[in-house]
Amino acid sequence: MTRNRRVAVASPQTRLDMSRRRSGVRAAMPHLAPADLERARRTHRLQLHRAVATLALLALLIIGLPVVLAAFPVLDDVSVAGIPVGWIAVAVVPYVFLVVLAAWQLRRAEQAEE
């Protein structure tokens, strides 16, 4: 077996930073070709719209559900299969919602790149 020389593995940013520290010269700043720039602008705008929609739904869960539970304490007295509805609303419902939301956002974010 040949022994390879050991090499430090680092992220591109880290390597950039380390070489800069050694040479004292700033690396070139990022730039985009004009065609890419236009494409990136469109994608950025579209992704932002879709992200905001997903976050609004997430806010509905984490801001809205506690308010509903506080406003309707009667939910604790109603039970489904012996379990109070108020408990199901925090122990099970959020996870179903999150999984569906994750799948939805993933699909739309990937579409936005095509």
Partner 1 sequence: MIAGAILLVVVVTMVIGARGVAAMRTTSDFLVASRRISPTLNAAAVSGEYLSAASFLGVAGLMVKDGVGALWYPVGFAAGYIAMLTLVAAPMRRTGALTVPDFAEARLGSPGLRKLSAVVVLVIATLYVVPQFKAAGMVLTAVAGTPYWVGVVVAGAAVSITLALGGMRAATYVQAFQFGLKMLLFVAPAIWLLLQVGADTRRDALSPVEFTHFSHVTPVEFQLDTQLTITEPTPVAIGAAPEQVLAPGTYPVEAGTTWTFPTGSSVPEVAGAQRPGGETWARPLLDPGGAGHPVLATWSVLIATVLGTMGLPHIIVRFHTSSDGRGARRTAAITVGLLSVFYLFPAVYGLLGAVLLPELYLSGATDTVVVALPARVDGGWAGLLVTAMLSAGAFAAFLATSLGLLLALSGAVSHDLLPGTTLRRLRLTTLGAAAIVVALALPAVHLDVGVLVTSAFAVAASTFCPLLVLGIWWARLTARGAVVGMVVGLVASAGSIGIDLFAGTPPGLASILFGQPALWSVPLAFATMVLVSLRGRPPAWAPAAMLRLHLDERQP
**Residue numbers at the binding site for partner 1 (CB under 8 A):** 4, 7-14, 16-18, 21, 26, 29-32, 36-37, 39-41, 43-44, 47-48, 51, 54-55, 58, 61-63, 66-67, 69-70, 73, 76, 79, 82-84, 86-87, 89-92, 94-96, 98-99, 101-103, 105-106, 109-110, 113
CB of 45 to partner 1, least distance (A): 9
Cβ pair 87, 107 in contact under 8 A: no
Cβ pair 86, 69 in contact under 8 A: yes
CB of 25 to partner 1, least distance (A): 13
Whose structure tokens read 């304490």?
73
The H or E element spanning position 37 is helix 34-59
Q: Which is nearer to partner 1, 25 or 70 (by Cβ)?
A: 70
CB of 12 to partner 1, least distance (A): 4
CB of 113 to partner 1, least distance (A): 4
How many residues are listed for the chain in this entry? 114
CA distances for 105 relative to 9, 42, 61, 74, 96, angstroms: 33, 18, 15, 34, 14
